[in-house]
Every structure is written in structure tokens, then in C-alpha cells.
Structure 1
Amino acid sequence: MADRKGQQPSGWLRQAGQPAWIMGVLNCTPDSFSDGGQFVGVDKAVQHGLAMWKAGASIIDVGGESTRPGAKAVGEDEELRRVMPVVEALLEQGCRISIDTRHATVMQKAVQAGACMINDVSALLFDDKSLDVAVHAAKDANVGVCLMHMKGTPETMQQSPKYHDVLSEVLVFFEACLERCVSSGLEESSLLLDPGIGFGKSVEDNLVLIANIGVLKERFGLPILLGVSRKSFIGSLTGALIGERELETAVAGSIGIFQGVDGVRVHDVASQYRACQIASALLDVKGNYGDGV
């Protein structure tokens, strides 16, 4: 295990007395699983991004490539065409922006425009140049870098994923990722971790990770981002349609927050913001009493 003594605290760690922060999902794609096609077009996308910002999002995650199960890769040029006008317009309105991409060129362009986070579902493994881009972005512009666990690729990840022990395998994956990043010059204080709910996992795998996500915080001490919003495992358990999963999203997200999750990635910011406030307040009160009285 890496020696993390002396690391500077990350700015993405939730502070006591403050709710877990919210990342609003803005898919500028025609084929995302939840809202594909709704926000294709700069004006619609910007309007929705601003609405999420005003509803309480701390950062807007702009993506131009669907990573739903079975999705095919999108080329850099097309991805740039989809996202950059939206990124630039939202930055002009004062929003904080995360760029949701696997492509180094898209990362670089978004960071140059002013994005303050890189959110890569491949944990900087898809594009050979992405790690170098992330290192410079973190050093030069204090950009956060979120590393996500995924088994396979979006096109293949849900084709009968199997683990011997999903929690242990995710921990081993992140240990290797952190060693690779740190040895390349990326400070751990710039990093966030996302267990990748729904990315190459069965329903049970997802439940195991959510129920034990506090282990990631205990092991690594880094900010944890949890994305459960409207995911398929919810529908498998409750039968709720994609657009009707906000209650379940709030419950799963709150369980994560109560174990130390710092941020949640959601589609409906207004409803999830309220859930975050309650879960965070309960966690703070519990912390005041230690292990009990």
C-alpha cells in the first residue's frame, strides 16, 4: 500500500457542517441511458446546466460520449463538437465544470477553457496521453482528477461480469491506479475515486460496493464520488422506470454519504440536494458522539 503520510488534504473532501457536494449530470449525447437526446444542442444543454447549478450543484459534469452498457466509442472531433460550446458557455455563466471524457485531447481543451475536474470512467487507461494531460492539469491549474473502476469497456462491461470478491478487486484496482498516477507525478491530493456503480457489475456487486463504500474512504483517505442516479440495478430491484428512480437514488446516495462519500453524481439535482443535506447532517451529529455514549 502506498504511503500517504504528509499528503495535503483534497479540496473535494466534504467538510463537517457542509452537505456532500453534488455533481450534476449533463449529457450532450443522443444515446445516454437516462436522458439521451434531451440536451443535444447548445442552447438546451446550457439551459439545463444552469438549472442544475441554481438548484444546488457544486459542479456540472459535461459529457459528449455515452458510457451506457453497449455504447460504442465516439471520436475526439465529434466529442469536442458536442461539449466545448457547452463547457465554454457554462463557464462564462460562472459554473464550475467537470469534463466527462476518456480522450486526452478533450480533457486538455476543456481544462484550457477553465474546467476544474477531469472525470474519466477509464481511470486514465483508455488514452495513452491522458495521464500526462492530467498531471499537467493538476499541477498547472489545480484540476481534480476522478478515477473510476470499470470492468471492460462500455461496449462490453455488462456481458456477464464476474468477480471472486468485488470489493477486494476494486481496492486492488485503485491501489494500482494510485501507484501509476503518483509515480507519474500526479499528487494524490488531486485525485478522487469512484467505484463505478453499474460499470461492469451485477446487481449484487453494486449493492456490495454501496453497502461497503466506507472501506474505500478508510483505505485511501481520498474523496469518494458515488454515481447511483437512475442506474439499472435500481430498476432490477424495484421495477421503477428510468425517469422514476429519484427516491431510490436518494436512498442509495444517502447510505453512501453516511459512510463518508464526499460527492454524489445525479440527474435531478433539486431532489437529491435535499437528501444530501439530511444525510450529511446525520453523519455530522453521529460524529459528535464518536462510537456511542
Structure 2
Amino acid sequence: MLTLPIAGLPRDRCVVMGVVNVTPDSFSDGGRWFDPGAAVEHGLELVRQGADLVDVGGESTRPGALPVDRDEELRRVVPVVRRLAEAGVVVSVDTMWAETAEASLEAGAAIVNDVSGGRADPRMVPLVAAAGVPFVVMHWRAHSPSMQQHTEYADVLEDVLAELGEQLRTVVDGGVAPERIVVDPGLGFSKTGEQNWTLLAHLDRFAALGHPLLVAASRKGFLGALLADEVGPRPVGERDDATAAISTVSAMAGAWGVRVHEPRRSADAVRVVARLRAEASDG
């Protein structure tokens, strides 16, 4: 398992990244943490539940979500990042925009998590390169309003690997140190449910790219579809057991981290995997 040079994060097991959505339209929580004070308290609670770091975002990236004005994103995100960092929390900022990333880094964020992998804002890669911070590069084809119109692949696994590999080369050529890059397959972003399962079945291929791997499957629609009954898909808030199962699979595949809304189950899962790995290596 590859790790990142960030103080305060475990290096002997998969890391658990908790999610704080400072948005009124998150698919997961519907705006419960939109107030900055509530968002900070929620972030602290995620740490108490076992999150190793907290990912703060101010723009929903669910399919169909509308973009947020840059000033509004800054207003939502930066105070939350600052207060969590001041409390000693390792913070990641979830943004596609260099202005928000820069302000968040100044406020104490340690990682930039860009779902576009630097493609949405040409200023992002130079900023991250100059700052020398870890950068999450996700497979991405289009912004939220149109992302699900771009799910055509000749071979979803090979195409995603090829497109992600091309973006990784662009990021490295832009000056970001390879050892500071995290890869994310982009589950749910320009992917159908079946395509998500295909990628999850081959996480070893993403781990083989030579960078730490982040898996973000938490509460997503393909889990709701899997667990559907006669009433319909499993409600969003009742998908955490399935999310923890994905966290187990991800940890076993050598992922650096999992991004989840409810950390406790996943924190338990990755510790079980780490203990089994330690036993196997001792044997």
C-alpha cells in the first residue's frame, strides 16, 4: 500500500476520509451541515467516529447539480477548513477551482481533492505544484449537469485507465511531484452502476498505476440499486453497511484511502484488514 507524506495520518493501514458537505443540495445529507458551525461540529464528530482526515466541499458534484459561484464556494468552505485545521484535524479541500484551493491551503488544508483532476481550472495544477501538497486526481469527463451523458466506453476499465493515465501525465508534466498524487477511479462520475461494479472488481489495476489509491463509493446510487426491494432503491442513509463492505474490498486491494460519510463502520473494516495483513506477513 502506497502512502502520502502527511503528518498525522496512519501509514500501516487504509486511511478513512470523512465527508463534510457544506452545501444545501448534497445527495447524501440534503444540506444538514450547510451552516458553518454545524459543518465544523460534524467534522469533529466524524473524527470521533474514526475518520483520519476530513474532506470539506462547498459544491455538490452529484449528477445534475448546478455550479456554485466562486465567492459562494469560498464563503462556504474556507471558514470550515480553518476551524477544523485549528482543532488539529487533517483537512482535505474538495474543489475544482484554484481560487478555493489556494484559500483553503492558506487556511490549513493539507490536501487538494479535485474531482476534475485539474481539468476544470487550468490554474489548479500550477497552484498545487507550487504549494507542494498532495493532489487527488480523479477520472472525470464532464461537469455535473452533463456527466451522465458521457458514459459510453469501448471497454470501461481500459478506457478509464487510459484516460486517467493521460491526466496523470499532464499533472506530472505540470510540476506536481508523482509521490504526492492520489488516483481516484471516479465511481459515479460519467459511469453507470454496472460500470462502477466493473471498476471495483479491478481496483488492483488502479493500484498498479503507482500512486496511492482513493476509493469513493459511499452511499452512491449503485449501492442503492443493489439493495433495492419492492419499494425501490435502498434510501441513501441506509447504505452505510454496503459502503463498509466496499471499504473492506478497497483495503484488501491496497487502497490508500476510502472516502465515506459515516466513518465508524469503515474505520472498523480497514483495521480488520490491516490486522489480517499483519498476520499474513508475520506468518
- 1:171, distance to aligned residue in structure 2 (A): 1.2
- From 78, 94, 105, give the equivalent of 1:84: 78
Counterpart residue number, 1:197: 187
- From 36, 42, 51, give the equivalent of 2:45: 51
- 1:287, distance to aligned residue in structure 2 (A): 4.8
Counterpart residue number, 2:21: 27
The answer to whether the Cα contact below 8 Å between 1:193 and 1:225 also exists between their aligned partners in 2 is: yes
- 1:9, distance to aligned residue in structure 2 (A): 6.8
Q: Secondary structure at the match of 2:259?
A: strand
Using a 3 Å threshold, how does the CA distance of structure 1 residues 286 and 14 change in structure 2: closer, same or farther?
farther
Deviation string for 1:163-204 (max 9, x for gaps)?
A: 111111121112211211121211101100000111111111
Identity across matched positions, percent: 39
In structure 2, C-alpha distance between the alignment counterparts of 1:104 and 1:110, rounded to whole Å:
10
Q: Secondary structure at the match of 1:157?
A: helix
1:207 aligns with 2:197: yes
Q: How does 1:154-193 map to 2 (within 5 A)?
A: 154-159=144-149, 161-193=151-183
Q: Which runs of 5+ in 1 are unaligned?
A: 1-7
The answer to whether the Cα contact below 8 Å between 1:10 and 1:189 also exists between their aligned partners in 2 is: yes
- 1:283, distance to aligned residue in structure 2 (A): 3.5
CA RMSD of aligned residues (A): 1.7
In structure 2, C-alpha distance between the alignment counterparts of 1:43 and 1:182, rounded to whole Å:
37
- 1:151, distance to aligned residue in structure 2 (A): 2.8
Counterpart residue number, 2:218: 229
Deviation string for 1:218-244 (max 9, x for gaps)?
A: 2x2210000011010001111121000
- From 152, 164, 189, give the equivalent of 2:142: 152
Using a 3 Å threshold, how does the CA distance of structure 1 residues 186 and 176 change in structure 2: closer, same or farther?
same
In structure 1, C-alpha distance between the alignment counterparts of 2:213 and 2:100, rounded to whole Å:
23
Counterpart residue number, 1:248: 242
- 1:22, distance to aligned residue in structure 2 (A): 0.7
1:115 aligns with 2:109: yes
1:132 aligns with 2:122: no
Using a 3 Å threshold, how does the CA distance of structure 1 residues 71 and 19 change in structure 2: closer, same or farther?
same
The answer to whether the Cα contact below 8 Å between 2:187 and 2:196 also exists between their aligned partners in 1 is: yes
- 1:21, distance to aligned residue in structure 2 (A): 0.7
In structure 1, C-alpha distance between the alignment counterparts of 2:185 and 2:115, rounded to whole Å:
10
The answer to whether the Cα contact below 8 Å between 1:60 and 1:96 also exists between their aligned partners in 2 is: yes
- Normalising by the residue count of structure 1, what TM-score does the alignment of the two structures yield? 0.89
Using a 3 Å threshold, how does the CA distance of structure 1 residues 26 and 114 change in structure 2: closer, same or farther?
same
Counterpart residue number, 1:101: 95
Q: Secondary structure at the match of 1:255?
A: helix
- Normalising by the residue count of structure 2, what TM-score does the alignment of the two structures yield? 0.92
- 1:153, distance to aligned residue in structure 2 (A): 1.7
User: Which structure 1 residue ranges, 4+ long, deviate > 2 Å from structure 2?
Assistant: 8-15, 279-289
Deviation string for 1:46-85 (max 9, x for gaps)?
A: 1100011122211110000000010011111000011111
Q: Secondary structure at the match of 2:43?
A: helix
- 1:14, distance to aligned residue in structure 2 (A): 6.9
The answer to whether the Cα contact below 8 Å between 1:211 and 1:255 also exists between their aligned partners in 2 is: no
The answer to whether the Cα contact below 8 Å between 1:27 and 1:36 also exists between their aligned partners in 2 is: no
1:271 aligns with 2:265: yes
Deviation string for 1:84-140 (max 9, x for gaps)?
A: 1111111111111100001110000011111100000000010111111111111xx
The answer to whether the Cα contact below 8 Å between 2:3 and 2:256 also exists between their aligned partners in 1 is: no
Counterpart residue number, 1:4: none
Q: Secondary structure at the match of 1:25?
A: strand
Q: Which runs of 5+ in 2 are unaligned?
A: 229-233
In structure 2, C-alpha distance between the alignment counterparts of 1:287 and 1:154, rounded to whole Å:
43
